[in-house]
């Protein structure tokens, strides 16, 4: 059955914004108004609907955490997050009109993180205390908003060779793979960087139209960027 892949679904985006914003507010942060968090959430959220299956993933990159925080002092406070890649994942199957959700253990067994150079990582089994404290505040907001069915996955920022899994300041990509298991089909969530919400791409040097940082060609005149 053909998959429908979308980066926007209002209730989930609003939930993500609320959950993450609440978690940072709990430790004294406030949103930075220079970044459009709504647009950023669209970039980091992917939902795959295939028949009776709904599998979604939200990448919480450091750039997003920094945008939610309040300026450079707050960024220093959360600098430890730079060493990790954090995702929220939800998987459910509809049966007889009811949603049956996958457990965190079931998702952990299926998931693989793949870099643009095809390096692969499994999620951390033991999460450092400072990171876990941050996740606990997000989980608390999630439980209040969505019954705790969004599960947190944490990966090292670097692969086994010591190379970063992704460089969000450049054109790069990161893929979260959920392998097939039981009634669930294989699903891949692919994010491309840099993030348009925090990267000013300017205008096409040929036609002058506004462009986005991810684009390789100007859609208005075809110029290679």
Give me the average pLDDT of each 10-residue run along the chain (225 residues).
38 48 43 69 91 93 80 61 94 91 95 96 94 82 66 96 95 96 95 91 92 91 93
pLDDT of residue 66: 80
Residues in the chain: 225
pLDDT of residue 129: 92
Q: Is 129 exposed, middle or buried (0-12, 13-18, 19+ CB in 10 A)?
A: exposed
pLDDT of residue 145: 56
pLDDT of residue 111: 98
pTM of the model: 0.81
The whole-angstrom separation of Cα 131 and Cα 133 is 5
CB count within 10 Å of CB 96 equals 5
pLDDT of residue 140: 75
Interacting residues of 189 by C-beta distance below 8 A, sequence separation 6+ = 46, 48, 57, 59, 175, 176, 177, 178
The whole-angstrom separation of Cα 90 and Cα 113 is 16
Collapsing DSSP to helix, strand or coil, 136 comes out as helix
């Amino acid at each position: 059955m053909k998959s429908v892949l979308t980066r926007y679904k209002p209730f989930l985006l609003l939930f993500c914004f609320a959950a993450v914003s609440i978690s940072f507010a709990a430790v004294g942060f406030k949103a930075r108004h220079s970044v459009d968090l709504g647009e950023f959430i669209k970039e980091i959220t992917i939902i795959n609907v295939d028949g009776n299956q709904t599998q979604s993933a939200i990448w919480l990159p450091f750039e997003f955490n920094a945008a939610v925080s309040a300026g450079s002092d707050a960024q220093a406070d959360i600098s430890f997050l730079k060493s990790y890649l954090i995702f929220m994942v939800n998987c459910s199957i509809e049966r007889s009109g009811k949603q049956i959700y996958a457990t965190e253990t079931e998702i952990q067994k299926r998931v693989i993180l793949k870099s643009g150079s095809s390096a692969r990582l499994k999620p951390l089994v033991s999460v450092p205390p400072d990171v876990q404290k941050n996740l606990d505040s997000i989980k608390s907001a999630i439980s209040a908003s969505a019954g705790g069915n969004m599960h947190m996955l944490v990966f090292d920022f670097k692969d086994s060779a010591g190379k970063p899994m992704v460089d969000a300041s450049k054109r790069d990509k990161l893929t979260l793979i959920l392998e097939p298991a039981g009634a669930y089909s294989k699903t891949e969530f692919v994010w491309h960087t840099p993030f348009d919400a925090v990267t000013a791409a300017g205008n096409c040097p040929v036609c002058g139209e506004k462009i986005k940082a991810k684009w390789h060609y100007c859609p208005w005149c075809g110029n290679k960027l």
